[in-house]
A = this chain, B = another copy of it.
Amino acid sequence: MPIRYPNGQPYSRSPKQGQAKKSLPADTYSGRGMTLEHDIDEANVYYLNQQRAVVHKKPTPVQIVKVDYPKRSAAVIREAYFKQASTTDYNGVYRGAYIDFEAKETKNKTSFPLKNIHPHQVDHMREVSKHGGICFVLIRFFQSAEVFLLDAKHLIDYYDNQDVRKSIKKTEIERLGHQVKTGLHPPIDYLRTLDAVYFNGDAKERT
């Protein structure tokens, strides 16, 4: 039985979370069919091993209610609930800068529905941008497998005008955002896009 979040989305246990600098399993040669989360985790492991950046996914926030302590074995959580995240899922350091982002996939072909982003996350993005962090969202269009980086300022602008627009058109994302190169290693090369967008195209330490 697949594990699911309260909103019905499947819960994917990341093999990378809680581990650093592990080699990737051999069957992950292709990002095809992988979840966006998996591909970003894989990119982050690649970047860490290549000494490019330190970016991790935050653990899923859980409210723990009851824990058992069986003799001679590890503590078992017997009752806990998923909590809504108050921040974005990913953050870390790249070239000295604080980077912070959320990753979202949509099956919609022509637009990105804003309901994918929670109000708490938008507030968090506002704060991060205010304090000089690099903040953005990675959006993957499932059908075309295209990935775009959209700066938080654009997302916030659309979010604040939801009365008139419940989604961002893909053509607008293409215009305001930046397409991210996808491939094998890493599956989603978002640091390359950061170089172009936030570091004046200066590709430091590119190998």
Contact = CB atoms under 8 A, between A and B. Distances in A.
A69 B11 CA distance: 13
A62 interface: yes
A59 B56 contact: no
Nearest to A96: B132
A4 B98 contact: no
Given A75-B82, A84-B18, A92-B98, A11 B64 contact: yes
- Copies of this chain, complex-wide, total 2
Interface residues of A, number: 59
Contact of A85 (B5, B18, B81): B18
Contact of A75 (B66, B81, B86): B81
A63 B59 CA distance: 9
Interface string A24-68: 000000000000000000000000100101101011111110110
A127 interface: yes
Interface of A: 3-6, 11, 13, 17-21, 48, 51, 53-54, 56, 58-64, 66-67, 69, 74-87, 91-100, 120, 123-124, 127-128, 130-133
